[in-house]
Structure 1
Amino acid sequence: MKFLLFSLGLSGLFFLGASLTISEINGPAHRSPYENKDVTDVTGLVTAIGPSGFFLRDTTPDRLIQTSNSVYVFTSSSISIRGNIAVGDIITIDGRILEYRSSEAYLFLTEISAPRNLRKVSSGNKVEPVVLGMERAPPAYHYSAIDETAGGVFAVPNNQSLYSVVNATAEQDKYGLDFWESLGGELVKIPGPVVLSKSNSFGDVWVNGEWRVTGKNSRGGLTIVPGYTGADANPEAIRIGSPLDGTKNEAAKLGDKLEEVTGVITYVLGFYTVLPLTALKVKSHAEPSLPPPTLLKSGSTCSGLTFGCYNVENLALSSAHLPQVADHIVTYMGTPDFVFLQEVQDDDGSNNSGNVSSNQTLAALSAAIRDRSGVSYEFAVIDPVDGMDGGQPGGNIRVAYFYNPEFFTVRNPNPGSSTEATEVLPGLELKFNPGRIDPVNVAWTNSRKPLAAVFDTGDGDKVFVINVHFTSKGGSSSIQSDARPPVNGGLADRQAQAESVASFVSKILAEDRTAKIIIAGDFNEFTYVSPMRAFDGIAYDLDVVTSTPVEERYTYLFDMNSQQLDHMLVSYEITQRDPEYEHVHINTWNTLEGEVSDHDPSVAKLNVCK
C-alpha cells in the first residue's frame, strides 16, 4: 500500500530546556510523555531516508526494552533537510514531538515534526539493523492486555477501550501491539521471510521471519486457531509496505519465500509495517503453484453424494470469470452432485436497472459446466427485492442451489416469494419449497436472506438444505486498531441471523431428531466467535466432525491471517455416517490477478440415505 507519513502542526508553545534522548522521547508507553512539546539538541544516527522524512536512532540508548531507540522525523516533501543528510550521519536537530494518525480508528505514530537547526556531528558511521528473531522476537498469541481482559481479540462486546488512551507501559514480551510499538522507527532485518498473504495492488504483503509462530498451515500461512482466550490471530506477523527508494515490490503469494528484508518499522494506515529499503524479491515460489482437485468423488448413490459450497464473488451473466467458475466446479470440485452458491448477481450485474432475475446467469453457468462435464445442473433460487439484499449496488446478490437431477428432485415444489417466510409444517414438510427463512426480520436488512429447501434423494428419503450468506464484516476496524478488542463490523446482525437459522433448524429436529440437514455458505464469521456458537448442540461443523487439522481450516485470506468464513454444518444424523470434507485452496494459493473468487470452495461427501 502506498504510504504517506505526515503531520498536522498543533498550536501552543512548549519548550524543554534540557535536551532529550530519543529513548526518553518515546518513553515506555505507546504515546510520548513529551507529546506536543518542543525539544532541542536531539542527537541520533540516520538509519534510513524516505520521501517525506528520515529515521533517527539514539546514540545513547537506555536499557529499557519497552522504549524504542529510534524515531521518525517528518520533513514533509521538502528536501531542504533530507538533502543535507545521508545514512550513517550522526546529526543533532530541534523540533516538536507529535503523535500523528490519519484516522481516529488508528494508533498514533510518535514523530519529531518540523525539524530545524540541523547540525552534522559526523558521517560514515556504521548502521546495523536489529535482527528480528535473533535479537528481538514478537510474541505469538496476544495483541494487547485490553483484549485479554475482555476475553480475547474477538471478544464480544468489542471496542471496550482504546489502546492509546489506556497508554499502559508496554509489555513487549507478552503483547504484539506492545512489541511492534517498542520498535517503532527502528531499522530491522527479517531473515527467512515467508509470505502469509498475496500481494495487494500496492505490492504489500504480510510475512513472518525466523521466529516462533502459531497456526502454521501446510502452505506456509498462519491460520486463526483456538487460543488461550477464544482464538489466536497471529500478532507475530508483520506487513511489508512500499520500498523507501521508490522501487516496486515483486509480486508474491501465500507460502512464497523472500530474500532477506531490511527496513524500518512504522505505523501506516492501521498496521505496524516494515518499509523496506528497496524492493522485495521472491527467493522461491510455493509449490505446487495450485492445489490438486478434491479427492472426494461422488459414489452416485445416496450413501456417498457430494456437496459443494462456493462463494462465486459477484457472478453475473456478463462476468468475465463465469467460465473460470465453471472450470473450478468441474475440475477442482469434481462436479458435486449438489452445490451451495453465494453471491450470484442478477442477469445484468451491477447495472442498476431494477431487474432482479438471475435465471440467465444461472443457466449460463449450468451450460458452461455441462459443456465441460456432461452434467446438466438444474437450479433453485428466489430472487430478492431490488436493492434490499446488500452487496454491489445494482447486483442484487443472492444464494442459489445447483443440483444434479439424477440424484435430487425438489420435494413438492412450491416456491415462496422474496418476502414470504417458509415454515416447518407437521409431517416434516416446508410451507414454501424452496423458501426464505424469516425474510422480513430486521436482522436481514441489507443482507442476503437464507434459502431453505427440502429435496428427495431418490431412495425415498429427503434432505433439508439451508444456504446462508450472512452480513459482511464491513465497518470493522484493523486488528491493530486503537479500539480494543477491534470492532467486528456487522456482528450484532450476524448474531441475530445465526439465531434465526438455528431456531429454524431446531423446528425441523423437533419434528424428527434423525432429520438430515445441511447448512452451508458464507457465514462471514470465524468458528470461535459468538454467532457460530448459536448452532452448538443443533448442527455440527464438518471440520470438527472430520478432524480437519485446525491449521488447515481456511477458505479466505485477510491481512496476515488464513481464516475461515465459509462453513458446512450438518445435523447429528449425518455425523454418524462417516462424512468426509475438504477445502480446495484454488483461490487462496493464487495471485491477486489469478484468483477467480476471494473465497475457496469446499466439498463434502455425505451419506444421506434413508
Structure 2
Amino acid sequence: MKVPATLLSALGLVSAATIAEINGNRFNTPLNGTAVTGVEGLVLAKGPNGIWIRSTNPDDDDRTSEAVYVFNRNVVSAVAVGDVVTLDGTVFMYRANNLQLYLTEVTNPTNVKVVSSNNPVKAYVIGEDTANPPTEEFTSLDNGDIFAVPNDVVRVSVANPVLEPSKYGMDFWQSLNGELVTVKSPVGTTRPNQFGDTWVLGTWPATGRNSHDGITMTDKDANPEAIVIGTPLDGTSNPETKMGDKFVEITGVVTYAFGFYRILPLTALVVAEEASTETSPTTLKSTGDCRGLTFGSYNVENLWAGSEHLPAVAAHIVEYLKTPDFLFLQEIQDNNGPTNDLVVSANVTLATLAASIEEKSGVVYDFVEVAPVSNQDGGQPGGNIRNAYLYRPDVVELWNPNQGGSTDSAVVLDNGVLSFNPGRVDAANEAWANSRKPLAAAWRAIRGPKNKPFYTINVHNGSKGGSSTLHGDPRPPVNNGVEKRGQQTEAIGAFVDSLIAQDPKARIIISGDFNEFAFVQPQKTLTGKHNLTELSALSLPETERYAYVFDGNAQQLDHMYISPALVKPSAKIEHMRISSWLRYPDITSDHDPLVSYLNVCGC
C-alpha cells in the first residue's frame, strides 16, 4: 500500500520521493523540512551553488514541476550535465525576505550516485513543448485586478492555492520551476535593471505590445507573459541592451529569485539585432497666441546648476520639444544640488537651464518657482527638489502675480484670482509630508481673441519606493504610498473644484510626475470625481501611453489632465522617446518628456 506523502512528511521521512511529489501542485512544497531518499533526476544544468535535476519518472500533471534545484556547492563538482543521479536530502523552502515567494530546494544532499552518464538533455521550448504563458493575470489571489486598492490583502505563502498554469502567469512559471527551457526569437521589452536582469518575450502571444516591440501596462494587465533573464550560469555578464533589441535563442533554467520568476541562461545574452533609438521631435507647433499654445512636461531627474546632464536637458527642450511656450518641470534641485546646507532657492539652476536653451536656440525663457522648506519635500538629501515652470515671456505672462512662499497656500479668490501666484496647493496638508507640493499658477497669453486666464498645476506626487514586485508574496502587490497619493490627488482635485466653482469654463492644465498609473485609484479620482480628462486617452493608443520603463514594462507615471473647457478636437499630445528607447548608460533622465497643443483662449 502506498503511504500518503502527507503522513510520511509528518513522520519526517519520505522514501524515494519523486520530484513532482517534492514540488506538489501548489506554490509551497507539501514536504517542507522533510528528509527524502532516492530522489532520481537527470542533471540539466550546474550553477556555482548547486544543480538542477529533472525527474526520470514524470507524472501526468501540468501543475507539478518535474525539476528541482539541489542546493550544495560540493555536488556541483561531483556530477556532470547529462548524468542521471540519485540522492538523499532535505526539502527546504527558501526566500530572502517576506515579500518574496518561497523557492523549493533539496538541501544537504548525501549518497549522491551517478546512475548513468552522457544522457541527452532536452530543453523545453516555451510555447511549443509547453503551453503559452498566460497574458493577463498573475494569480487568482489578485481577483482580476493586480492594481486593486487596498493591496496586500492576502499572501501566496499563506493561501497557497492550487496552481492553474493555463490561467495565471505566476502559476505557469511555478509549474516550470527548475526546468531547462528555451526562448525562441526573444526580444527585450525594456532595458535591463541595475543588476543586468533583462525582461523578454518569445514567440508566444502577448498583450500590450507597443510599436517599439516593448510591452505596455494597461488596465488590470501588467503582462505576466514577460520573463526575466537573470545572471548567466557560466559567470559571464549580460550586455547593456534596450527596448526592442532582438536576441539569439536563450536556453536556461527557470527559478525564483529577487522577487521574480526568471530564467538563468547557460551563458550571456547575445544581441542578434539592435532596435533603433531614433525618435522624432514633436510635430506640434505653437500658433504663438492663445488659440494654440504648446506645453511641455519633463521630469529632469535631480537637475541643478552644476549637473553634468543640464546641457543635454536643454538640448532635448530645443531639439525634441521644440522650445514649447510653457514647460512643467519636476525634480529641479536648489542652486548647489546635493550639498546639504541652508540653500533652497533654485534661481541659479533655472537661470542656467534657460541660458543653455537660449544659447542653443535663441529662445528666451523666464521661470517661476516656490522654494521648499529645506529637506522637507523628499528626494536627495540637500537637493530640495521642487516643481518649477519655464515660460516664454513673449507668449505668456503671469496673471495678477503675487509670489507665494514655502508655507503659503494659494487660494482661489473672487473672479478666479489666486491669493498667491505662483503658489503651492494646500501646503499645510499632511498628504505632502516629505513630498513635493504642487505648484499652481494663473496665466494669460499675450495675444489672441478673448484671451482669458488659464491655470496650471505642476505635480510630483509621492514615490512608489518600497513596493513589492509583480511576482511577490503580497497580493495584490504592495503599491507603496498609494494611500498617500490618493490623499494628494484629492487635494489637487479640491483645488480644481474651487477654480471650477468660480468659473465652470475655467481652463486648467494639471501635469507632472504623478508616480501612478492612469488606471489606479488615485488617478481615477481625477478623471471620475473631479471630471478631468487625461490628454493621452484622447489621442494615443493604449499601448503607446508610456513615458517610463521599469521591471519589464513600459508604463505611464507622467500625465497631463485638462478641464472640460479644454477638451476640444484640436487638443493633442505626443511623447518624446528620448529615455525609454535607450540603454541605461545613454539616458539623460529616466523619464520621457511630453508635449501638448491646447487652445486656452476661452472661446
Q: TM-score, normalised by structure 2?
A: 0.96
What is the match of residue 576 of structure 1? 568
What is the match of residue 3 of structure 2? none
Matched to 2:235, the amino acid is: G
How far residue 232 of structure 1 moved from its aligned partner, in angstroms, is 0.6
The 5 A counterparts of 1:583-602 are: 583-602=575-594
Kindly, what percent of the aligned residue pairs are identical?
49
What is the match of residue 147 of structure 1? 142
The 5 A counterparts of 1:147-546 are: 147-148=142-143, 151-226=144-219, 231-287=220-276, 289-458=277-446, 459=448, 460-535=451-526, 536=528, 537-546=530-539
1:201/1:381 CA distance change after superposition, 3 Å: same
Is 1:105 the counterpart of 2:99 in the alignment? Answer: yes
Matched to 1:391, the amino acid is: G
CA contact (8 A) 2:14 2:34 kept: no
SS at match of 1:500: helix
CA contact (8 A) 2:302 2:332 kept: yes
Count of aligned pairs between the two proteins: 588
Matched to 1:505, the amino acid is: V
Deviates more, 1:293-302 or 1:329-338: 293-302
Partners of 2:481 and 2:535 lie apart in 1 by 25
How far residue 577 of structure 1 moved from its aligned partner, in angstroms, is 5.0
What is the match of residue 8 of structure 1? none
Runs of 4+ in 1 over 3 A off after TM superposition: 12-15
What is the match of residue 4 of structure 1? none
Matched to 1:576, the amino acid is: K
SS at match of 1:573: helix
Partners of 1:225 and 1:168 lie apart in 2 by 26
Is 1:606 the counterpart of 2:594 in the alignment? Answer: no
Q: TM-score, normalised by structure 1?
A: 0.95
Partners of 2:246 and 2:288 lie apart in 1 by 42
What is the match of residue 68 of structure 2? 71
How far residue 332 of structure 1 moved from its aligned partner, in angstroms, is 0.8
1:295/1:278 CA distance change after superposition, 3 Å: same
CA contact (8 A) 1:399 1:450 kept: yes
Deviates more, 1:248-257 or 1:483-492: 248-257
How far residue 135 of structure 1 moved from its aligned partner, in angstroms, is 2.0
Partners of 2:500 and 2:217 lie apart in 1 by 32
RMSD: 1.2
CA contact (8 A) 1:502 1:538 kept: no
SS at match of 2:595: strand
What is the match of residue 9 of structure 1? none
CA contact (8 A) 1:475 1:489 kept: yes
Q: Aligned to 1:47, which of 40, 44, 49?
A: 44
Matched to 1:572, the amino acid is: P
Partners of 2:474 and 2:593 lie apart in 1 by 33
Where structure 1 has 5 or more consecutive residues not aligned to the other structure, the ranges are 1-11
Matched to 2:601, the amino acid is: C
CA contact (8 A) 2:65 2:174 kept: yes
Where structure 2 has 5 or more consecutive residues not aligned to the other structure, the ranges are 1-8
Partners of 1:569 and 1:209 lie apart in 2 by 36
Partners of 2:193 and 2:120 lie apart in 1 by 34
Partners of 1:277 and 1:514 lie apart in 2 by 62
CA contact (8 A) 1:317 1:361 kept: yes
CA contact (8 A) 2:12 2:33 kept: no
SS at match of 1:302: coil
Q: Aligned to 2:56, which of 59, 63, 70?
A: 59
How far residue 433 of structure 1 moved from its aligned partner, in angstroms, is 0.4
What is the match of residue 552 of structure 2? 560
